[in-house]
Structure 1
Amino acid sequence: MGDDLQSRRTVIAGVGAGGLALALTACGGSAETTQPAAGGSASQSGALAGGTLAKTADIPVGGGTVFKDQKIVVTQPTSGEFKAFSAVCTHNGCTVGNVSDGVIVCPCHGSKFAIADGSVKHGPADKPLPAQQIKVEGDQITLA
C-alpha cells in the first residue's frame, strides 16, 4: 500500500506541475489578444501585415489598445484623435494591462493614466507615460 500511495502522490504532483506550466504559458504567452470590453480596451501582440500596428476601427473611442510586443498603448480619446504612449508603467516598469473607463491601467500596483495625455490619474506612479510617435494614414496606424 505504501508504494501505491507514493505512486498516487507522484501522479498528482506531476499533474499539478503540468497544470501550473500550462497556466503560466497561457498567462505569459506573447500571442494574447482580447476583445474590447465595455470600457473600451483590448490587448494585442504583434503588428498587422505591412508594418501596420492597427486599423483605426480597432481602437475604440474613449478607450485604447495595448500592444504588448511593441510596448505601446494607442488610445482614441475623442473620435478621430489617436494618441500613443509607452506601455511601460513609470512606477515599477510593469507593462500596462488594459484601457478601461477612460484610463490606462497598470495591473501591478493599480496606477492609472489619462488616455488623452498619459498623465497620472491615480498612483503610485508619479510620472506620466511618455508619448510615442504614430502615424495615421487613412484607416492605418503605424509606428512613426
Structure 2
Amino acid sequence: MTQEAPSRRLVVPGIVVTVAGGAAGYAVAHSSDAAKPDDTAAGSTAAGGGGGGAGGAAAPLAKVDDVPADGGVILAGAGVVLTRDATGTVQGFSTVCTHQGCKVSSVANGRISCPCHGSAFDTRTGEPVAGPAKTPLPPVPVTVRGGDVFPA
C-alpha cells in the first residue's frame, strides 16, 4: 500500500501559518520587558556617567549601607545576593537556586528564599536550611572598599 504525498493545498497554508506564527511570536518576545537589559540594577555596566578611576575598573555592586545588617539584597541584574552579618561582613552568593535553577526572590529572617519549591538558604553561609535544595548557593567573591561593595 502506497501513501500519496500531501497536496500543495495542504502544505502551503501550513507553511504560511507556521511562518506567520513565528514572526508574531518573535515580535511579541522582542518587544517584551524580559528582552530588554536591566539597566536599573546595581552593577549595571551601561555606558554613561564617566567618573574617574582606573580604566576598566568594575563599578560597585552596591553601597554597604544598602545591605541590611542580618539581611541582604538581591541584585538580579548582576546575579548576586549580597548579605551582611551582624558584624558588618558582606558576602555574595549566586541568585540561582541549586535545586532546579529558579532565581531566589527574597532575603528575610536570616534566609535567602526561592519561590519555586520552598528552598531557603542561610544568609551567612549559603547552606540550605529548608526545602528540597541539598547544595549551598555558590559564593560570589566580593570586596568592600570605601563603603562600596565590588565584585572581587
Question: Does TM-score exceed 0.5, indicating one fold?
Answer: yes
Letter in 2 for 1:51: A
Q: Normalising by structure 1, what TM-score?
A: 0.68
Aligned residues of 2:42 and 2:62 also touching (Cα < 8 A):
no
Which residue of the other structure, out of 124, 130, 134, is the alignment partner of 1:122?
A: 130
Letter in 2 for 1:45: A
C-alpha distance 139-68 of structure 1, shift in aligned 2 (>3 A): same
Aligned residues of 1:134 and 1:141 also touching (Cα < 8 A):
yes
C-alpha distance 68-79 of structure 1, shift in aligned 2 (>3 A): same
Q: Quick check: 1:104 aligned with 2:112? A: yes
Question: Where has structure 1 moved over 3 Å in runs of 4 or more?
Answer: 25-32
Match of 2:75 in 1: 67
Runs of 5+ consecutive residues of structure 1 not aligned to the other structure:
1-20, 33-43
In structure 2, distance between residues paired with 1:123 and 1:136: 32
C-alpha distance 139-103 of structure 1, shift in aligned 2 (>3 A): same
Match of 2:54 in 1: none
Aligned residues of 1:120 and 1:127 also touching (Cα < 8 A):
yes
Q: Quick check: 1:47 aligned with 2:43? A: yes
Which residue of the other structure, out of 93, 96, 111, is the alignment partner of 2:101?
A: 93
Match of 1:77 in 2: 85
Identity of aligned residues (%): 35
Letter in 2 for 1:66: I
> In the TM superposition, what is the alpha-carbon distance from 1:26 to its structure 2 partner?
7.6
Runs of 5+ consecutive residues of structure 2 not aligned to the other structure:
1-27, 50-57
**Paired residues, number:** 110
What's the C-alpha RMSD, in Å, of the aligned pairs? 2.4
Max radius of gyration: which structure?
2
Matched position secondary structure for 2:65: helix
C-alpha distance 111-27 of structure 1, shift in aligned 2 (>3 A): farther
